[in-house]
Structure 1
């Protein structure tokens, strides 16, 4: 992406466009969500689609789409510039590549990409299925007993993560870095990081299956 394209994608988020995005990601009443009612607003970008995804690239997030199911949105290069969170929602087939978000993430992410995303010091909760964290910065992240299934952490930076009692099922770890990470009581199923990469990590009561 060229510098001029980046500048254009950032500049397009004028007040009216931001208001439309806030409506698209507005939270849903939990009772209405449980009853299967439609959300108050459809998750549609004011700029249409890119590659079949709703185009929210470079959006400075605000609020949190709690109790929503969000599918096929492109939030590449998004930021938490307006205090946005990605908590208490389900995201399916979404892009968060190169985003810069210090956020609460959860409750369910499936087939989402976080390639080279900057998520340092975020709190990751819930379930992550077939997600791509290649090259992502997850340093100093904490985990609330999350589950990662078939996720790719190749080249990711996990230095000083605090991920106790976390389940990793069939994940990839090629060239991931850990430093003084904490995985106390966690479970690695079917695959595990290289022992040398974990030399400084706290691995008490870890189970390898």
Structure 2
């Protein structure tokens, strides 16, 4: 079981159920790997620099978190990513449905073969971000400053 106030480095977690957990600073997970873990309805507000594979972030609240790392085959349906900062993150084959990206600060992000549907990008800043082979449907992009970034149409 994870200690939610720990500084964890270079550990692997497989099929951990972290549903509804509250993960706040000083808790930090750096260089860790999470495989098939369930974070649904969790509240995460800390630094996250890890590798996530096949994880569920349904209705997870990341507000005010700092994201780094690699997310592969993860589900962000109804997730709240508002007020998150991210740099040097790769999202591959991830699903974002009704995801809130309000007031984000994202730089050097790659979204590769991801699905975006009914997401809101509002009043944020996105720089040097790539959307490669992404499925883009019914999303809203309003008042987002973007430099070296082109949102899909």
**TM-score relative to the length of structure 1:** 0.67
Q: Are the structure 2 counterparts of residues 172 and 207 from structure 1 closer, same or farther at C-alpha, using a change threshold of 3 Å?
A: same
**Secondary structure class of the residue paired with 1:138:** coil
- 2:98 corresponds to which residue? 155
Which 4+ runs in 1 deviate beyond 3 A? 192-196
1:193 Cα shift? Answer: 4.5
Q: Are the structure 2 counterparts of residues 208 and 189 from structure 1 closer, same or farther at C-alpha, using a change threshold of 3 Å?
A: farther
Q: How many residues align?
A: 152
> Would you say 1:145 and 2:83 are equivalent positions?
no
> Would you say 1:171 and 2:114 are equivalent positions?
yes
Q: Quick check: 2:13–2:35 contact (8 Å CA) kept in 1?
A: yes
1:82 Cα shift? Answer: 7.5
Residues of 2 paired with 1:107 and 1:208: CA distance? 26
- 1:124 corresponds to which residue? 67
Higher strand share: 2
Structure whose alpha-carbon radius of gyration is higher: 1
Match of 1:113 among 40, 50, 56: 56
Match of 1:99 among 33, 38, 42: 42
Match of 2:17 among 67, 74, 80: 74
Residues of 2 paired with 1:81 and 1:160: CA distance? 20
1:195 Cα shift? Answer: 8.5
**TM-score relative to the length of structure 2:** 0.89
Q: Quick check: 2:80–2:100 contact (8 Å CA) kept in 1?
A: yes
- Greater relative contact order structure (CA < 8 Å, 6+ sep): 2
Residues of 2 paired with 1:89 and 1:80: CA distance? 15
Query: CA offsets per residue over residues 51-71 of structure 1, 9 Å max, x none?
Result: xxxxxxxxx712132111111
Show structure 2 runs of 5+ residues with no match: none
Query: CA offsets per residue over residues 75-118 of structure 1, 9 Å max, x none?
Result: 00000268422332111110100001201112200100110011
Compute the RMSD of aligned alpha carbons.
2.1
Q: Are the structure 2 counterparts of residues 82 and 202 from structure 1 closer, same or farther at C-alpha, using a change threshold of 3 Å?
A: closer
Higher helix share: 1
